Structure 1
Amino acid sequence: MSNNHPYKIIPDRITKLASYQIFVFGSNTEGRHGAGSALFARQYCNAECGNPQGRQGQSWAIATKDLSKGIRSIPLLQIKSQIEKLVEYANTHSELEFLTTRIGCNLAGYTDLEIASLIGNFNLPPNIWLPQEFVDCLIEDKPTLKVAFMGNRHQKFDESRWKQVRSRLEGMIVRACVREATLQEYRALEWGYKRIQFYSGMALGVDTTAVEIILGLKDKYPIEINLTAVVLCTNQDAKWNNLDKQKYHWLLSQCDAIKFVSNLPYQEAGGIKCLNARNRWIINQIKNVHDMMIAIWDGQPGGTANCIADATKLNRRVIIYNWVTSTYQKFGNW
């Protein structure tokens, strides 16, 4: 991480802002705000017609196109200068969150890599969120094996059973990195990967425990290990006790990136729909030949069962440990 904190990744779709959020969009020199993110900023975030740059209500405009000259008409150095102003403002307004869209990458004609390279010049404060495309560019491209988790929440387990399940989970994670036959050979490296990208939905139980285990593996094997927390809303921990909240926020701080499925609190984000959206997003990351999902499940109906069903319908590679029967089951192309 170039910023000494996780990259925060905006939702795939933003329809509404919380009161403390600022929508950062690409503008034009005339400040027309007539299409795409600029139109959303004008209609819902108080962007001002005729104003091409800077703070405008709950929005922040960065001019990336001169309408009279067409695409790629604002020099990258000028865009960089505007990003610098945004960074300076965000640094002095830690009470605000700045949700940055793919500025300059649609109607303005620049690529994600070009704009992300400009952003990479700055030590971003933690209150600037970025689109997934920019974060992908900021993290060095290399062959990556992707592994995700699903599983029951901690309320399902008594202490003795939980110790057994945690041991099984750790073994499954290690085998994603290591050949089963011997701990001296590295499975991901053998397959030609240079990085393992883990995804966790950060629910209490299997999800957060997987994060703890992965953090303990980061310096153990000769392969880069990255971790993305997939957070369903801004107050995922609202009903948790203080100890669980503290642990949750510490784990988030140790991740490489935090993907927000919604930028709103749980109820405004759609409640149970937000949970389903999180699961779908995670499943959609697991799509290449060796990518896999690891599931710890009791065999009962519920969110984990639904997630497993969705993954298997899409022929994702899934390995399930049923902790009630102490059995393993695999789906997909193994």
Structure 2
Amino acid sequence: MTDRTRRSTAQPDTGTARLRKERTTAHTPARITRLEPNEVFVFGSNAGGMHGGGAARTAYEKFGAVWGQANGLQGQSYGIDTMSGLRVLASEVSGFLGFAREHPHLTFLVTEIGCGIAGYRPKQIAPFFADVPPNVVLPATFDR
């Protein structure tokens, strides 16, 4: 586990194996300003990949998101279209989770996708992340 993930327990950091063991207690921090080489910043995007605000802007300015690319891996970021309706968002999250399972050597730090400009509440988005692999870290607001 990195110093950018918070745990609800006050135990010392013992690495990725600990994160996998305690997956349910690790959370993405509210603000991410740097990443380790094996970490990926997961953000909400619009269908046009115009990363002008919120986490999308951070992904573009700091983590290699590509202007005009809405979804998928982009540098050290991964875009999920959150602006084209809940059905599209659910499909995008499903595709992302498949990608995360295929890349267990990476740790994916999911931001509060869909809960900013897209206007959804965490309780609407959290169910899409019901079955996450151990290398996906969610914001505390997605806990159910």
Is TM > 0.5 for Structure 1 vs Structure 2?
yes
Give the 3-state SS of the residue equivalent to 1:124 in structure 2.
coil
Relative distance call for 1:5 and 1:124 in structure 2 (3 A) is: farther
User: What are the ranges of 5 or more consecutive residues in structure 1 without an aligned counterpart?
Assistant: 66-73, 139-334
Superposed CA deviations along residues 169-215 of structure 1, whole A, max 9, x for unmatched, are: xxxxxxxxxxxxxxxxxxxxxxxxxxxxxxxxxxxxxxxxxxxxxxx
* 1:108 partner letter: A
Other-structure match for 1:91: 101
* 2:38 corresponds to which of 8, 15, 20: 20
Aligned Cα root-mean-square deviation (Å)? 1.6
The one of 106, 109, 112 equivalent to 1:102 is 112
TM-score under structure 1 normalisation? Answer: 0.36
Please name the residue that 2:78 is paired with. 60
1:105 Cα offset (Å): 0.5
Q: What is the alpha-carbon distance in structure 2 between the residues aligned to residue 107 and residue 75 of structure 1?
A: 12
Question: Which whole-Å CA distance do the structure 2 matches of 1:52 and 1:125 have between them?
Answer: 23
* More relative contact order, 1 or 2 (CA 8 Å, 6+ apart): 2
Alignment counterpart, residue 139 of structure 2, candidates 126, 131, 148: 131
Task: For residues 5-31 of structure 1, give each alpha carbon's deviation from its aligned partner in whole angstroms, at most 9, with x where no partner exists.
Answer: 532201222111111100000000111
1:40 matched to which residue of 2? 58
Could you tell me how far apart the structure 2 residues matched to 1:90 and 1:112 are?
21
Alpha-carbon separation, structure 2, partners of 1:5 and 1:83: 22
Give 1 or 2 for the bigger CA radius of gyration: 1
Q: How far apart, CA to CA, are the structure 2 residues paired with 1:28 and 1:96?
A: 24
> Following the alignment from structure 2 to structure 1, what is the Cα–Cα distance between the partners of residues 54 and 126?
20
TM-score (structure 2 length as normaliser): 0.81
Q: CA deviation at 1:92?
A: 1.3
Percent same amino acid at aligned positions?
39
